[in-house]
A and B are shown apart, each in its own frame.
Chain A
Amino acid sequence: MKHNDLNERMYKEHIMELYKSPNNFGELKNPTHRHTEYNSFCGDEVTINLLVNNAKIKDAKFSGSGCVISTVSSSLLTNKIKGMKVEEIKKLSKVDMLKLLKIKINPARIKCVLLPLEAVMGALR
């Protein structure tokens, strides 16, 4: 039943495309902030590199080994925070992350969505 209803699917086209060629993957040459966060549930690991200048994000990259959901989430989050003020980033929540992904997330996978946000928060702490 689920598979007949495309809206119910987690793994939509835009998700798979972004997984295959994510944005901002890699390390920054001279990051001002850096942090790695782990997800013991599926063994994911995301490292966030940030270049902060004047309390604003100049550049952001992510690396590590992750599942489809955490990779896509990292890719979208790093895009979003570029140019944002640090203070605003600190207000980002679970709801903002789910909005970024634009798909229905199974509760078991929420951790994968939030992993990059936790890494960003860790880097800015």
Chain B
Amino acid sequence: MKLNNQSVKKLRKDFPIFENQKELVYLDSASTTQKPKQVIKSIVDSYETTNANIHRGIYDLSQKATKKYENSKKIIAKFINTSEKEIIFTKSTTESINLLAYTLPSILQKEKDEIVLTEMEHHSNLVPWQQLAKRNDMKLKFIKIKEDFTLDLEDAKNKITEKTAIVSLTHISNTLGAINPVREIFKLAKKNNSITVLDAAQSIAHMKVDVKKIDCDFLVFSGHKIYAPMGIGVLYGKKELLEKLSPFNFGGDMIKSVTLEGSEWNTIPERFEAGTQNIEGAIALGEAIKYLEKIGVNEIGKWEKELTDYSAKELNQIKGVKIYLPKKHSGILSFNVENLPTHDVASMLDDYDICIRAGHHCNMPLMKKLRISGTARISFAFYNTFEDIDKFIKAIKEIMGKVK
């Protein structure tokens, strides 16, 4: 579907929040996206028509719920070009990364004791690895970012060595919108037999993500950033690696047989899905992806970039506004306003019903590197229009007038 200001206005009707909040200008989709009625309806449908626990009931209702759950996995698997055997449902990106940080040590080689991340990681792709490093006496290394906010590939070559056990990085920076050269970095990692992890939280809804092309061992994302509900996330892992990993959570459904003395694990992916799952969330995530694919993820990315470039052009014309935008970027734009702390910018825009994010964006080390305490950040989804940006720019100008 071709996206332009007109077609987007039609698609916006799918999102009840814009009907209920007529003045709302939502520029915080990197934090969480709004939900289309197709997804909301799917949640209601699950409870109203197929509510039962999965994998357990002999009866038809449970079979129906199981089928919808399994089908959602197929949709997700196809979306990232893999098999449903390699899709594990979790709560979120954060939980997926924690699962890896706790289970990967069982398959790491002894002589490899370094974890390579980048200077732009979200705290959720940093803190779990810091803890792993502490537990297992490993070392953390960070690929530097350059003046133009891109990753320093020369530095990556120095940091990724035969001692590197794990390379984990974000596909797109949640603060700067930089699209990272993940294939190049993972090639370096593979040359050194390192495990590769991709944090796709910020890319999954905005560009084609193909695990075969990227060639990563693991990939993680959150449903709520791709038009699906909160509390559902995904961990993709290569089958041969998942089979070797020991489980993270123990309990029901992840076992094949249990005696009082011990248990035998279920096959993958169920081995990693202990206990009752967020079934309606999992099903709704499949619906969200179906919805998004009808529009086309590449088309969405193009439209969001157009909105971002227009915003950058408008902001650049305002004296006293500094923007932080790498050349190769997605629909995320960070900026600062002279003489106005970022939290005030966000609060003042809230007076206009404009939602933006302010602060360190769970990126404190990056802020330190840029020598700022935070940024104001706008981020787009396909439902944003040029009118949204015009209202935002007008409000920024008014706000700046107040501190003159």
Contact = CB atoms under 8 A, between A and B. Distances in A.
A8 B23 CA distance: 15
Contact of A20 (B350, B358, B399, B403): B403
B154 to A, nearest CB: 32
Interface residues of B, number: 21
Interface of B: 22-23, 340-344, 347-348, 350-353, 358-360, 373-374, 399, 402-403
B402 A16 contact: yes
Given A2-B352, A10-B350, 14 more contacts: A2-B23, A3-B351, A9-B351, A10-B348, A10-B351, A11-B347, A41-B359, A42-B342, A42-B374, A43-B360, A43-B374, A67-B341, A69-B344, A106-B347
Contacts of B347: 10-11, 68-69, 106, 108-109
A13 to B, nearest CB: 8
A68 B402 CA distance: 12
A2 B359 contact: no
A1 B22 contact: yes
A45 to B, nearest CB: 10
A66 interface: yes
A25 interface: no
Contacts of A9: 351
A3 B341 CA distance: 21
Contacts of A42: 341-343, 358-359, 373-374
Interface in A1-52: 1-3, 8-11, 16, 19-20, 41-44
Contacts of B348: 10-11
Contacts of B350: 2, 10, 106
Contacts of B23: 1-3
Contacts of B374: 42-43
A2 B351 contact: yes
A112 B343 contact: yes
A10 B353 CA distance: 12
A19 to B, nearest CB: 7
19 contacts: A2-B350, A2-B351, A3-B353, A10-B347, A11-B344, A11-B351, A16-B403, A41-B343, A42-B341, A42-B358, A42-B373, A43-B359, A43-B360, A43-B373, A43-B374, A66-B341, A67-B343, A69-B347, A109-B343
Nearest to B359: A42
Contacts of A109: 343, 347
A67 B341 CA distance: 5
A19 B341 CA distance: 12
B127 to A, nearest CB: 16
A40 B332 CA distance: 24
A8 B351 contact: yes
A106 B350 CA distance: 10
Contacts of B344: 11, 67-69
A2 B343 CA distance: 18
Contacts of A3: 23, 351-353
Interface centre among B347, B359, B399 (most CB of A within 10 A): B347
A34 B399 CA distance: 34
B353 A68 contact: no
A69 B328 CA distance: 36
